[in-house]
Structure 1
Amino acid sequence: MSAIVMRDVRRAFDVVKGSAWRMNRRVQQFEALRGVNLDVSKGELFGLLGPNGAGKTTTIKILTTLLVPTSGEVYLNGLDSVRNPDQVRSRIGYVFGGDKGLYDRLSARDNLRYFANLYRIAPGQQRRRINELLEMLSLTDRQNDRVETFSRGMKQRLHIARGLLHDPDIIYLDEPTNGLDPLAARDVRDIVRRLKHSGKTILLTTHYMFEAEDLCDRLAVIEGGRIIAEGTSKDLGALANAGPVVRAEVSGGGAQALCRALEDRADVVNCHLEPLSGRELVTIRFAAQTEVEASRVVGEAAAADTGVKLLDLQLREPTLEDKYVTLVSQSRDKESA
């Protein structure tokens, strides 16, 4: 059974062009979402990936009832979120993290007590629920300390506790490990896994591809207000027709010319140049190509440019990040064609 359903959801905003106080003022419509369709099963951990400005935030705001779609339908556990926003809000939790959303002068326990009152949790249940969450998120020892004394990782755990106070069926995690150190980020990922194993439905947004691949059952890539790919990491690789990735170390000052020559090829998705000490690293993402053929193409392109000396060449299988970059690049090429 589906926990989250979006059917042909669109959201347009009015954008003012020119000065609001002058005669040349013009109002244009910008479509942030252009027919989004999603279907997330109950108990699934679903990842929503996309570049900045692709429509992720607008999608999350609609799913959390903070925005009403211009058109389309949204159902959360069978409830129409537009017609029944209050009922939907009692069943969802939203964790956005960062420094906002908590009261620094209050203790961790007082923060949770305050938000429990907003959720209208009965006084008799509050103490038990808050104790459970403080224990679950390893905050019991610091429960009476002011939040202003907490590290960023501890604040993030408190954000999660706040989002779980009313025991929601669906949890939205908006970049929950953004800005955390590696140890704190690993702790948060462990918490996310435990929530999934407890049967919660989770929609996760993140810019960390390794995190998405590690945690999510399925993924969707949004670009330009549309879902351009959906499925497992393996499915995305097939949809992108992603080939091997070649990393070539070169010297001689002709790396930019080499990149331009390779990007003219139809089987090359993109070519990235990174300066190193005394040399340059060229990363080439191929589509629909074998490792042997990809090596030959790069070797011949380097040999054809007398200004480039090939020092080292390595190949690897495409990661989720490579598949994601390929899908977004292909989508943008189609839009501009």
Structure 2
Amino acid sequence: MFSISRGLWVGFFFRKNFVKLKRLFPYLFALISHVVYSQDSEIVKEGNHWVSSYVEEDASSSTRCGGIEEFYFQGDSVIGDSTYAILWVKVWNEYCSGPNSNYNHSYDNPVPEIFGFYYENKVEKKIYMVPNDHASDYCDEGLILVWDELLEVGDTSTTYKSSYGCVRFRVDSIVVSTDSLAPRKKYFISSADNHFVINPNTFFTEGIGPTNEFGGGVFLGFNTYIPDHNRQYFLDCFYQDSVKIVGGDCILDMTTNIEDFDNLIDVVVYPNPAREMVGVQVNGTFDLKVINIHGALIYKEDDINSNLEIDTKSFTNGIYFLIIIQEGLNEIITKKIVVDK
């Protein structure tokens, strides 16, 4: 039971040690702030969806090109010992204006393509990707470290290819701001090698990605300037489970869950694993693509009537994805197959 004498003793203790405790307040505040701002916001998560636009200018040819792309995570695949989320992309607009190239293509219902395979270590707060055709700008080989959310001021990021060779980005400062869901760290970036001129407002947001472009270029297509070659990317909007986090109001046209299309379209793939042949049966006319885990197109066939046999004798052993588009729906389902000869 709390007694008056004990209360007086406690009061005396705090008064006597107030100066010492006062000196500790900044450290205690820093510790508490770290706890408050320590987030579990995941970038690689189904339901994360964003739209980015890009502009690229070539002063030597007076050409300006650009476009609008939509990205989202949907579905996953086991590669090695880890499960990788599949990042999809839809290209809504492509344009170019110049003396040698002049066009503007808009697409009413673009077909999604697999952009890459990503894995986020939630404990280490690191994001990795399996190399694919979109990762040609990275200097890393094998499994690529895309971003590390434990970077501190002065640390450098993954190396990036340029006309100067491999360059690095440096974290100049870290601030915390709160959006509609949670407080997040923002890592302001500059060029560690002084080869790029980077927009000083460019930053990587915890759980979201770069302000200047998140998907194309695999997270790190920052707003940079190279003599005679200016490439800029902009994050137009970012949603988590249909809740807008940053940017404007973008039209959400994300493909319906793959499982829903599996129920809607009757697809049979056999045998799986496959050796010399894999058969595909679909209830209707369909188009089909086969890609490997690096995103490369291995096989393509259009206007197939119900049944198809794919010769896999020339395929190397490994994991492949069948992308099936049924006529009339203009949407996709995917099936994973394994070739094991």
Greater percentage in helix: 1
Q: TM-score band, normalised by the shorter chain?
A: under 0.3
Structure of greater relative contact order (alpha carbons < 8 Å, 6+ residues apart) = 1
TM-score by length of 2: 0.26
Query: Which structure has the bigger radius of gyration?
Result: 2
TM-score by length of 1: 0.26
